[in-house]
Structures are given as C-alpha cells and as structure tokens.
Copies of this chain bind each other. A is one copy, B any other.
Amino acid sequence: MFNPELETKKIIQFIQDYFEKCHLGGIVIGISGGKDSAVAAALFTKALGPERVIGVTMPCHSIPEDRNDAIKVADFYHFKLINVDLTNTFDTFHKEVEQLEDFVESEDSNINIKPRLRMSTLYYIAQMVSKKEQKTYIVSGNGNKCEEYVGYFTKGGDSVSDIKLLADFTVEEVIQLGEVLEVPKEVLYKAPSDGISQKTDEDKLGVSYKDIAKVIHGEEVEKEVLDNITKMHNGCAHKFNIPTYRRDENK
C-alpha cells in the first residue's frame, strides 16, 4: 500500500542524508508551473530550508500562465525564484541554423531544443551560485515514473540532473505526495503539459497516465492501450542505454 505521509518523510530524509554526505550547498530546480516541479521543490524546501532552494523559470516563447503558477509555488514555499528568459537565445540560435544551405523547419527540432537549453541554463546557474556561495549547488531532475516508463522526456534535456526524487512514483502518487505537502491546488490538479506545444501530455502521448500506471503495476488495461504503452516503452530503450562498441563483446 502506498503511504504518502510516510514516503514524504522518507524522501525528506533521503535529501538530508545525501546533502550532508556530499557537503552540498543547495539545489537549483526548474519550476515549470506544473505539479512535478512543485512537489520536488516542496520536498527540497522541507528538507533543506527555503534559503537553500533556488527555483528557476525559463520561458521560451511560453504562455505567461505557467510562469504565474511557478510564482505561486515559490511564494507558497518561500524560496527564491529567478527568471531567465530563453526566447532571445532560442531566436538567435534559430537565425543561425536558418542560414544553413539544407535548412528545413522541423517541429521536432524546435520542440526538443527547449528542454536542452533549459538544462544548460540550470547547470549554468548551479555553477554560478556554487561559486558565489563557495558550496556546491546541484540540479534537480523532476521526472516521474510514468514519463520515464514511456520515454516522455528529452534525452540531454530534462533527463539530465544530479538528483531525482520522483522517478519511482506514478503521476497519481505524485499528486498524493503533493496533497501531503499542501501544494497549491490550481498547480497540483492542472492537466500536465510541456508548456511548449500547447497540448496536454496525454493528448500528445495518446494514452492516459492512469493507464500507464496500471501497466507499470501489472493491472489490466484494454489490449490496444497495452500495445501502445508497451510499444512506447520498448521504443525508448535507446534513451537509457547508449549502444557502445566494446572489444570483448564484438569478437
């Protein structure tokens, strides 16, 4: 049985143990305005105190509502929130690639570069703050178990981080942790979306997080749904294991 009160306590202990063992200064965390980053930030705030938590919003041609929700979360947990607008950086990059002789506009390219620019920004800020504070700040990864199961993340983007709190919890379980932590309701119950493509995650995936959780837990779902989810799961193996030439395996 999933016990969100107990898990909350254990995650907080996990954070405190790790930060003490590694003599870390604090955490830098991207705050998207969605529930995963809100729950992770809440956990870090409870574990370390708000003064060791630095939230970052990184709009990039984004809708303003997400930043407003991020501000709500930061205000509620009293951690510092800084804003790095990546719109100009993206546009400058885009102008550069547009000049390529073989340039074609690719929606996939334009969508996926954003989480990569955000990851780059979080690490930039983490090293900057580490220098300032003379203590190491690390970067939080906020993905949940459902996203990881179907590969719904950008390789080299939101999947790159230094500590992961929620990777073992389904979306439903993250919401239950958020209830224990009193995450503002309008954030906790918002339909998950990447804030980039203007569609919800579930629209884009074509399956529901509820069904993904069922498959993870070995519960029954419609055959077609199971097939879709299994196909996504198998199709993302390359995101986890990079095929690498090893001399002994290739005789």
Q: How far is the CB of A57 from chain B (nearest CB, A)?
A: 12
Judge whether A225 is part of the interface by a CB distance below 8 angstroms: no
Q: How many residues from A make CB contacts under 8 Å with B?
A: 65
Please tell me which one of the listed residues B22, B117, B129, B242 contacts residue A162 in the complex, with CB atoms under 8 A apart: B242
Q: In the complex the two chains form, is B102's CB within 8 Å of A129's CB?
A: yes
**In the complex, chain B residues whose CB is within 8 Å of the CB of A160:** 155-156, 160
Q: Taking A10-B247, A96-B86 as contacts, is the C-beta distance between A163 and B102 under 8 angstroms?
A: no
Residues 108-125 of A, flagged 1 when their CB comes within 8 A of B and 0 if not, give 110011001101110111
A5: CB under 8 A from chain B?
Answer: no
A119: chain B residues within 8 A (beta carbon): 116, 156
Please tell me if A84 contacts chain B, counting CB pairs below 8 Å: yes
A197 within 8 A of B: no
What residues of chain A have their CB less than 8 Å away from a CB belonging to chain B? 7, 10-11, 13-14, 18, 22, 82, 84-86, 88-89, 91-93, 95-97, 100-104, 106, 108-109, 112-113, 116-117, 119-121, 123-125, 127-132, 141, 155-156, 160-169, 238, 242-247, 250-251
With beta carbons under 8 angstroms apart, the residue of B97, B102, B166 that contacts A124 is: B97
| A106 and B131 contact, CB distance less than 8 A | yes
**Nearest neighbor of A103 in chain B, beta-carbon distance:** B128
* Nearest CB of chain B from residue A164's CB, rounded to whole Å: 4
A-B contact pairs, 6 of them (CB 8 A): A88-B95, A97-B125, A106-B128, A109-B124, A163-B244, A168-B247
Check if B123 sits within 8 Å of A120, measured CB to CB.
Answer: no
By beta carbon, the residue of chain B nearest A17 is B250
